[in-house]
Amino acid sequence: MHYPEPISKLMESYMKLPGIGEKTAARLAFYTVNMNEDDVTGFARSLISVKRDLHYCSICGNMTEQDPCEICQDKSRDQSLILVVEHPKDVISMEKMQEFKGLYHVLHGVLSPIEGTGPEDINIPDLIKRLQNEEVKEVIIATNATAEGEATAMYLSRLIKPSGIKVTRLAHGLSVGSDIEYADEVTLLKAVEGRRDM
């Protein structure tokens, strides 16, 4: 027996999400069928809104509704310190600890020769442009502790160090193979405090 076409199409949409297989997609599709129409409409509006209303900050690459983003506009933040992360969700994780007062730069990925991702495929050129500002004194590299994250950190370190800007890396507190978004605030704080030279 086949699912009715609207259910099949909805299941196909759900299966495009990471970690959603056919069984979970079917469960979500049938749950959606039983939802109140206003809730379904609100859900659809939310999906459309994130595509229409969000874009990337022209300075740091973070997700924002306004350009530049709130963090880049905040002149009370330490303009001499830039923390480099892989994804916008990492900025949110760092901001939750409410201790880091510098600026951010979002790479939107990491170097991965296996996947064909090189320096020109992520937000490295914009970072180099930002570093031409004489105000920047330190770059903290906060890529994940994965093989690709480490390779990206080493590449950035070699690229930045000749300019005389201090380059540090998040240290203890984050376990190897972990993602920043899953770390608690105390772990992140210890990692920032314990950063090391590269």
d(C-alpha 35, C-alpha 42), whole Å: 11
State the number of CA atoms in the 13 A half-sphere of 149 facing the CB: 19
Same domain membership, residue 186 and residue 135: yes
Strands 196-197 and 166-169: antiparallel
Claim to verify: residue 66 and residue 138 sit in the same structural domain = yes
For the entire predicted model, the pTM comes to 0.79
> Same domain, yes or no, for 12 and 90?
no
Q: Report pLDDT digits (tens) over 14-53.
A: 999 999 999 999 999 999 999 999 999 999 999 999 999 9
Nearest to 86 by CA among 68, 59, 104: 104
Burial profile 33-64: b = 16 or more Cβ within 10 angstroms, e = fewer:
eeeeeeeeeeeeeeeeeeeeeeebbebbbbbb
Q: What is the CATH number for 21? A: 1.10.8.420
Domain count for the chain: 2
Per-residue pLDDT of the chain (198 residues; tens, 9 = 90+): 689 999 999 999 999 999 999 999 999 999 999 999 999 999 999 999 999 999 999 999 999 999 999 999 999 999 999 999 999 999 999 999 999 999 999 999 999 989 999 999 999 999 999 999 889 999 999 998 888 998 999 999 999 999 999 999 986 666 767 788 878 786 787 778 777 777
In a shared domain, residues 31 and 69 = no
Tell me the HSE value of 159 on the side-chain side, using a 13 A CA sphere: 16
The answer on 123 and 33 residing in a single domain is no
Is 13 in the same domain as 65? no
Instruction: Tell me whether strands 138-141 and 166-169 are parallel, antiparallel or unpaired.
Output: parallel
Residue 22 structural domain: 5-52
Same domain membership, residue 97 and residue 18: no
